[in-house]
Amino acid sequence: MATVLANLHPEGTVYGEVGDSSVPLRFSESADEYRVLRERAAVLDLGGNRLIEITGPAAVDFAQRLLARDVEYLTSERCMMSLVLDESGQVVDQVLAFGRENGILLESSCGAGTRLLEHLEEHNDEGVVITDRSADLTVLALEGPYAWGVVGRLIDGELASLPFESVVETEWNGTEIIFARTGFTGEYGYQMIVPIESAAELWCQALEHAGAAGQEALELAMLEVRQPIPRHEATAGASVIEIGANWLVDVTKDEFVGREAVLAAFESGQGRRTVGFTGGEAIPEAGARVLAGGQDIGEVVHAVRSAGLGATLGLARVDAELAAAGLEFTVDGVEVTTLTSPYIVPKSWSIPII
């Protein structure tokens, strides 16, 4: 599935296959796009995120059973992030759930829409209507310390100061859109769910006030603040506790798919834990062994070159008692040091919305 805005991307845009989607990895240089995101404002084409609507009398009950967090009282003015798990507690996807008057709208993570849709349909015992809205809606996002200013110039300055995870239905150039205060990178963040026929105009207008950033810059910024990236972190057999995504699960819920497996993992206290690390110039491959005192204690989950740190930044899954900051390990013969998150301090934390 290609993004509907592909024909507007500049010549030389580099695309990559992420799950079921072909997404822009970078429009120019990833380092430049990263700086725009961290220092000013970036517009993101999130066309690789699938939009799936759940409607019908039992829509909320169905969503409550399929999502790992409590969405029973999710109103049309709110959105929230949640995991969707299978019966064994493995991650199917990490979704952004929007409350709607007639049900729930789910936004998949990048490239995971097909798997999410199949999972929902397989578990549809309530007879709800599950509709893939990606044929008529797409998602654009703004991220950055001055993204709020872009919102004011594009739509309405009052929307910039919405509380986090608030949602409003508003108009832009006579088109009804869903506008949400969200954010994946630790910077000010906003999403606009817009009809496909209006997406090109909104994209072009946003570029008058912000620079474009691709998936590489977005995922680096996410990693730097320890925002989970399922496609890199949800490795086979790892529990949500080992991944470090247990904040996206509500074990106090009476029922949700995968609950028993999650409870078992909580109660056992076994398994490894995920910790950030930095060090060296080379970028280790996923699966590279992590050593402490010559002993194998785990493996690298994901690693990249961090423009913010000016060094390699990665995640390692190690023995639980060693998942702490300030420890020295060896990866591929190179000494690395474990970190506490966030690994960089977002500029937005010191920039007020005015």
| Average pLDDT estimate for 19-28 | 96
Q: What is the pLDDT of residue 269?
A: 80
Reduced to 3 states (helix: H, G, I; strand: E, B; else coil), residue 261 is helix
Query: Environment class of residue 286 by beta-carbon count within 10 Å: exposed (0-12), middle (13-18) or buried (19+)?
Result: middle
For 208, residues 6+ apart whose C-beta sits below 8 A from its C-beta are none
Alpha-carbon distance of 305 to 354, in angstroms, equals: 34
Secondary structure E strands in the chain: 14-18, 21-26, 42-45, 49-55, 79-85, 91-100, 103-110, 129-132, 137-143, 167-172, 175-181, 189-195, 211-212, 272-278, 289-292, 295-306, 311-319, 328-331, 334-339
Integer Cα distance of 269 and 284 in angstroms: 28
Q: What are the contacts of 286-294 at 24+ separation with CB within 8 A?
A: 286/232, 288/331, 288/332, 289/331, 290/316, 290/318, 290/329, 290/330, 290/331, 291/329, 291/330, 291/331, 292/318, 292/322, 292/327, 292/329, 292/330
Q: How confident is the model at residue 294 (pLDDT cuts 50, 70, 90)?
A: very high
Share of the chain above pLDDT 90, in %: 95
Compute how many other C-beta atoms are within 10 angstroms of the C-beta atom of residue 325.
12
Q: What sign results for the dihedral spanned by CA atoms 231, 167, 106, 142?
A: negative
Scanning the structure block, which residue is given the tokens 């398994």?
271
In the block, tokens 């909580």 appear at 266
6 token code pair: 């592909």
Q: Is the pLDDT of residue 354 over 90?
A: no
Mean pLDDT of 226-241: 93
Cα dist. 43→33, 179, 206, 210, 226 in Å? 10, 14, 7, 6, 21
Superfamily of domain 1-227: Probable tRNA modification gtpase trme; domain 1 (3.30.1360.120)
Q: What is the pLDDT of residues 73-108, one digit of tens each?
A: 999 999 999 999 999 999 999 999 999 999 999 999
How far is it between the farthest Cα atoms of the chain?
64
User: Quick one: pLDDT at residue 268?
Assistant: 86
228-339 to CATH, choices 2.115.10.20, 3.30.110.60, 3.40.47.10, 2.40.30.110? 2.40.30.110
Compute the distance between CA of residue 301 and CA of residue 213 in angstroms, rounded to an integer.
24
The domain locations on the chain are 1-227, 228-339
* C-alpha of 119 from chain center: 19
> Is the peptide bond between 145 and the residue preceding it cis, with omega within 30 degrees of 0?
no
b/e code 76-88 from CB counts within 10 Å (16+ = b): bebbbbbbbbeee
Q: Is the pLDDT of residue 48 over 80?
A: yes
Report the distance separating Cα 83 and Cα 244, nearest Å.
Answer: 12
pTM score of the predicted model: 0.96
